[in-house]
Amino acid sequence: MQDIDVRESHKRLLIQQIYRAHSMQRIVEAQSCECPTRYPSWEEAEGVFVEHFAASEYWDIVEATSEYRRQANELRREAMPFCEAAGNW
């Protein structure tokens, strides 16, 4: 992620939203908000980006970013009680 040029910051935003959505999904699935669940390595998000979006055009990236943001926000409501109980919100 550090190697992404500033002019391609939209790609960095997509990776961040992929990470966030996957984090919320893991919390909901595990029903736990321990640090390793909520804050895993960035490798998975980077891998999803490389596999599915690295060659995508700007507007495709923007659209995917919005979709991952929407997913994360929906899952956030379910994840919040687990994180609050763990003192990790």
Q: Where are the alpha helices (DSSP H) in the chain?
A: 9-30, 35-38, 43-52, 58-85
Mean pLDDT of 31-56: 94
At residue 38, what are phi and psi to the nearest 5 degrees? -80, -35
Q: What is the predicted pLDDT for the residue at 8?
A: 72
How far apart are alpha carbons 54 and 78 in whole angstroms?
30
Instruction: Kindly indicate the confidence band of residue 88, based on its pLDDT and cuts at 50, 70 and 90.
Output: confident
**Mean pLDDT over residues 74-79, rounded?**
96
Spell out the domain ranges in the chain.
19-85
pLDDT tier at 71 (50, 70, 90 boundaries)? very high
- What does the pLDDT look like over 18-35, one tens digit per residue? 999 999 999 999 999 999
pTM above 0.85, yes or no: yes
Residue 75 per-residue DSSP state: H
When pLDDT is averaged across residues 56-62 and rounded to a whole number, the result is 94
Q: Which residues of 20-49 are buried (b: 16+ CB within 10 A; e: fewer)?
A: bbbbbebbbeeebbeeebbeeeeeebeebb
Contact 54, 81 (CB under 8 A): no
Cα–Cα distance, 29 to 65 (Å, whole number): 22
Confidence bin at 4 (pLDDT 50/70/90) = low
